[in-house]
Amino acid sequence: MPDARIKVHELRQKSKTDLLAQLKDLKAELALLRVAKVTGGAPNKLSKIKVVRLSIAQVLTVISQKQKAVLREAYKNKKFLPLDLRPKKTRAIRRRLTKHQQSLKTEREKKREIYFPMRKYAIKV
């Protein structure tokens, strides 16, 4: 059970099984600290609760980030992405036409361009 705070760069190098084991240990430690709090434990144990809770959050964050990275890799060249992997941006931007859709022309526009091209004028000097 760690005394000092966990360093995130060390967590990122661990495998998922190691992270889950560490998470289990931290949760067990937190339970013990909470029992100590109720029974009137030492002040250093009470101050350690915050550190352990922070460590749990860090481990969970690293687990979810790794999972998301694996999913991103799996969906890299697929046509559709799951909603949580798509860019958030804003609702208006997400509903906007794509560049390709904006550049498309109707049949009528195409015909008009063919039959009535822009006139070229030569200026007399």
- 3-state helix, strand and coil shares in percent for the chain, rounded to the nearest 5: 65, 0, 35
pLDDT exceeds cutoff 60 at 2:
no
pLDDT exceeds cutoff 70 at 33:
yes
pLDDT exceeds cutoff 60 at 34:
yes
pLDDT exceeds cutoff 80 at 70:
yes
Sequence-distant (6+) residues with CB within 8 A of 71 are 82, 85
pTM given for the model? 0.73
Average pLDDT, whole number, for the chain? 93
Residue type, 113: E
